Amino acid sequence: MSKPTIILGIESSCDDTAAAVIKDGKLLANIVANQNVHKAYGGVVPELASRAHQQNIIPVVDQAIKVSGIKKEEISAIAFTRGPGLMGSLLVGTSFSKAFAMGLGIPLIEVNHMQGHVLAHFIDTPEHQPKHPDFPFLCMTVSGGHTQIIVVKDMFEMEVIGETIDDAAGEAFDKAAKILGLPYPGGPLIDKFAKEGDPKAFKFTKPRIPELDFSFSGLKTGFMNFINNESARDPEFIEKNKNDICASIQYTIISILMDKLKEASARTGIKQIAIAGGVSANSGLRNTLLSLEKELGWEVFIPKFEYCTDNAAMIAITGYYKFKRKEFASQEITPMARYALK
């Protein structure tokens, strides 16, 4: 039998330190260390993020190797996130990967984080092999840093046909949460409170942006003014209406996303629709997509929760497919804070 291909994936682009092991295309371990240090600041503090990565990276990699049951000498290559992301954070994962690969005498594979989010749809485990989307498909990548609609022509050819001109969808969630006095990251909390609220209780104006692009900064300002005005009238406004406020702002964000996604599907004629990135963990978004599946004849692909938010399984799977193409990086490689999708 030929030697198995074992890829160690490393992700450190923002505030999660993650490592994963993929053997012959099947995920054996997927470890993520979240950073709680940012909670009090209402957003990721880059300097604190890189320090926490430095502390977490060795234990996280060590645990991924232990859980996978492989020996480190069996690893075929190390795939790491080169960008986009926070430079200080990326440097920790990149430097660690370079040193580890050099120590083991194995190749390095650089991965674009956004390509990783898209290829999260191709993660299989030994027990579970979900149906993968066929090419071409549309992928809406919605995270704390990005909001893009991508035509995925194949694993390595992706065309961005729409993106945000200001804030990302995740930022819209997080900033709305901050205005409500909720800790960072606020997206999951808005999701939680929204489940008990009325999405039509309050109406917020949607932006008018041409083509397939998005904008969320106007919504944030409108939301802030609304909350300030209502709170001036009744200091307990937020407390009394938390569920309805969360449901209404979530409904508006989802509806902005869906308007453009529907338009993208109509323009391209593509009906295989995937979502990726942290915001695709949102239950309102997931349910809306599932209802559109019937209404518009779409086939919808939604990753498991753990593959939506930042993780290293998506980096390892991208690395696995790059390994097959022998796309290796040199030891001179440096991270890139900005890294466009090809």
- How many C-alpha atoms does 318 have within 13 Å on its Cβ side? 30
Stretch that binds ligand KG4, among 69-77, 98-106, 138-146, 262-270 (CB under 6 A): 138-146
- 30 in Cβ contact with 64 (< 8 Å): yes
Q: Does 281 bind ligand KG4 (CB under 6 A)?
A: yes
According to CB under 6 A, which one of 185, 303, 319, 335 is a site residue for ligand KG4? 185
Min. distance of Cβ 328 from Zn ion in angstroms?
24
Site residue total, ligand KG4 (CB under 6 A): 19
Q: Does 288 bind ligand KG4 (CB under 6 A)?
A: no
- 75 in Cβ contact with 5 (< 8 Å): no
Stretch that binds ligand KG4, among 102-110, 141-149, 196-204, 261-269 (CB under 6 A): 141-149
Q: Which residues contact 187 (CB under 8 A, 6 or more apart)?
A: 144, 170, 173, 174, 177, 278, 279, 281, 282
Residues between 20 and 59 with contacts to ligand KG4, criterion CB under 6 A: none
Q: What is the DSSP string of 136-150?
A: SEEEEEE-SS-EEEE
Closer CB to ligand KG4, residue 173 or residue 202?
Answer: 173
Residue type, 305: F
DSSP annotation of 72 reads: G
Surface-to-core class of residue 340, CB atoms within 10 Å of its CB (0-12 exposed, 13-18 middle, 19+ buried): exposed
Q: Does 89 bind ligand KG4 (CB under 6 A)?
A: no
Stretch that binds ligand KG4, among 30-38, 74-82, 222-230, 275-283 (CB under 6 A): 275-283
For residue 8, report the phi and psi dihedrals to the nearest 5 degrees: -95, 125
Q: How far from 176 is each of 37, 188, 225, CA to CA, in Å?
A: 20, 12, 11
Min. distance of Cβ 213 from ligand KG4 in angstroms?
19
Q: Does 143 bind Zn ion (CB under 5 A)?
A: yes
Closer CB to ligand KG4, residue 104 or residue 258?
Answer: 258
Stretch that binds Zn ion, among 60-68, 187-195, 264-272, 310-318 (CB under 5 A): 310-318
Q: Which residues contact 266 (CB under 8 A, 6 or more apart)?
A: none
Q: Does 335 bind ligand KG4 (CB under 6 A)?
A: no
Min. distance of Cβ 195 from ligand KG4 in angstroms?
10
According to CB under 6 A, which one of 43, 130, 183, 188 is a site residue for ligand KG4? 188
According to CB under 5 A, which one of 106, 216, 310, 311 is a site residue for Zn ion? 310
Closer CB to ligand KG4, residue 223 or residue 323?
Answer: 223
CA distance 247 to 193: 7
Query: What is the SS3 assignment for 192-260?
Result: HHHCCCCCCCCCCCCCCCCCCCECCHHHHHHHHHHHHHHHHHCCCHHHHHHHHHHHHHHHHHHHHHHHH
- Contact string 159-178 vs ligand KG4 (x = CB under 6 A): -----------x--xx----
Partners of 21 in beta bridges: 8, 29
List contacts with Zn ion (CB under 5 A).
143, 310
The residues binding ligand KG4 (CB under 6 A) are 14, 143-145, 170, 173-174, 185-188, 191, 277-279, 281-282, 309-310
